[in-house]
Amino acid sequence: MSSSPSSPASPDVSATERLALDVPVTIDTAEQLGLLPDEFNAIQRILGRIPNFNELSIFSVMWSEHCSYKNSIRWLKTLPREGRRLLVEAGEENAGLVDIGDGLACAFKIESHNHPSAIEPYQGAATGVGGIHRDIFTMGARPVAALNSLRFGAANNQRTRHLLRGVVKGIGDYGNCFGVPTVAGELYFEPCYQTNPLVNAMSVGIVAEGGTCSAIAEGDGNPVYIVGSRTGKDGIHGATFASGDITEDSADDLPAVQVGDPFQEKLLLEASLEAIATGALVGMQDMGAAGITCSTAEMSAKGEAGMDVHLDRVPTRQQGMKPWEILLSESQERMLVVVHKGREAEIEAVFEKWDLQCSRIGTVNESGRLRYYMDGTLVADVPAESLVLGGGAPVYERETKEPAYLADVAAFDVRNLAQPSDMLKAAKALAGHPNLCSRHWVYEQYDSMVGVDNATTNAPSDAAVVRLKGSNKALAVTVDCNARYVHADPYTGAAIAVAEAARNIACTGGEGVAITNCLNFGNPYNPEVYWQFVQAIRGMGDACRRLGTPVTGGNVSFYNQSSDDGPVFPTPTIGMLGIIEDLAHRCTLDFKAEGDHLVLLGKASDDLGSSIYLTAYRNVHLSPAPEFNLDAEVRMHHMLRKLIRAGWVQSAHDVSEGGVFMACLESAMPRGFGFSLQCPSGMRKDGFLFGEAQGRAVLSVTDGNLAALQEAAEEAGVPTLVLGRVEAGRLDVDGQDYGPIGEWKTLHRKALGQFMDGKQES
């Protein structure tokens, strides 16, 4: 552990004020709250005395993994965090902020709500959506798009169906009521997520230059307000709950799951943006994990200030709430606001207009200490800096050990695997597989059209495209991670996650400019898990540097494991922001006309590593990550954007899960086209059709543009291969009739609903 800075003992207070501080706790109490013995000793050194229960509760949540990143910050600091478009450094504010030109900036972030969703899927997912939107609009940005990344256990499992139904309904209900479209996402099923699903939510917002608000407290005597919902007992110790493994007893922690109200959040959004516009605010922060404790501590530490906070002035939903309950409650739809002294009436009038609670609970002081009072009695007194990441919070570097299973990964030899005699049967199995079939069952429950800025509802593309009002420019946003690749090779798999996100944006004609990440891993005290984490950070960092996409911030979620399933696959989900400079050069994935040539941009390959074909159809669960070359990937992205801007590309779709065959099928189905494919000689047919080698996209190209496209790609050192043509309505592979596109579309579209109805085996 890093040495914690010593702080002077508490200032002199009256005998009455001391009463609540004179109830010491023991090391056993600290351990029950999740603190290590060394951490308890460090707290005593910081305070110059034994803490009371309120203070120990404060340290327990602020020094939890969820709030302090104590086991991850050492490695997070190695990620690239600078770029010409970045307006704030990673971690400096509630979300990343990127200059998108035309006097506008984009705030975006992704976070997890895994543990709450495992216990109460509806509220766990709903409050995850609400929390990430608040991170965006507390900065002054209006949310314009939501995305999500979801992972569950086996698709034919009853508990999986229960969790998925609850999560999707929670996301849909909250987002639909709040009025922000869900524009994109991903969904995977793997046995390792059976007990511990992953629910990652991303929000994207737009703010005018100069219209942002910082999460800071400064100015001696400036008033401090709590605004929004009343404080209840929901969510207490939620940060601690998220910093431990899921067990058979986790259901007992149900009170740690918050309850959301999207209608209240909508009012809070409008009131917050109006309050920021007055210029009367010093700072504002959402009350997320650790509630009042976290917002008062982080805002004070950032401003090198302190606060005097009167907990009895906090509006509550239940009578008789104890100080530590008020401090730690994670009730939703609440903000902490610091106002310029003398301008209180302006802010109070704004929140009264929107019929929201607005209660003055304290003042900023210059002592650097957080002093919490209850009915005039001092109940906790701690230095703000000692609580926060980058201040006195502990920093660890855990033991690493290469996982033993990687020996079996390396031992895989595709030459020992015979090709199937019936390739059509394999293709149909993939088209109806829960990890490849249509997500229609999910997204039909989301409102994707509210705000009418989503340009991908009726024009599908690899990344979601969000129009910017009054501009020809658009945002391209995506979430990506193939955790099976990361499990096979954490360094390469994490680099692929970044590269695939950038490739999806390139397929729309855009350029990725920055990422946010949600790093989902098992218990960091497990050396094999921590090795996966370190290697994934290295791979992510190298890919971001090469692709020019710095990390603006994000979330680390450890302890995603259970005694039954072990740790989940390492899942570093990447949320990437891209920019399409001119919508006239936007590209979609759907085939446009019969007779167009199908061209593979990138190296032809028959590599089968970690493909769904291997795992789901051939029952091979350990194999290397797919073929990947970062330099070739970058060249392909540059060429793809150049070809799209030249007007030579009718459609573009990246080759990912399911390989070339699935890429063609997904491009054919939107308009009911078919296609013909010719597999090259000298390659495994199953590998060419279903292999998932990276750095490739399938393009459709007119006769008149084919030669120019091939010549330009050749000059840039990017391989091309003519695969076949767009056909009227049937599929043909190497001269074999694969049937009408309508049958494939029905299979692909209905499969997930059939799994959810228990009518299909995975």
Residues identified as active-site = 66, 113
For residue 625, the one-letter residue type is A
Of 503, 445, 456, nearest in space to 693 by CA: 503
Distance CA 536, CA 267 (A): 40
- For residues 404-421, one letter each, b for 16 or more C-beta atoms within 10 angstroms of the residue's C-beta and e for the rest, the string is eebeebeebebeebeeee
Distance CA 569, CA 615 (A): 14
Distance of CA 70 to the CA centre of its chain: 20
Please give the full DSSP string across 244-291, using - where no structure is assigned: S-B-TTGGGGGGGS----HHHHHHHHHHHHHHHHHT-EEEEEE--TTH
Burial group, residue 210, by CB count within 10 angstroms (0-12, 13-18, 19+): exposed
Distance CA 648, CA 703 (A): 10
Contact 57, 33 (CB under 8 A): yes
Contact 281, 337 (CB under 8 A): yes
Give the phi and the psi of residue 364 in degrees, each rounded to 5: -80, 140
Q: Around 595, how many Cα atoms within 13 Å sit in the side-chain half-sphere?
A: 4
What's the Cα-to-Cα distance from 360 to each of 310, 311, 437, rounded to whole Å?
Answer: 9, 10, 52
Q: Where are the alpha helices (DSSP H) in 679-740?
A: 685-690, 703-715
Please measure the distance between the N-terminal and C-terminal CA atoms of the chain and give it in whole angstroms: 46
Distance CA 288, CA 191 (A): 30
- For tokens 């590599």, the residue is 607
For residue 643, the one-letter residue type is L
Which tokens belong to 498?
Answer: 């970044």
Q: What is the DSSP letter of 20?
A: G
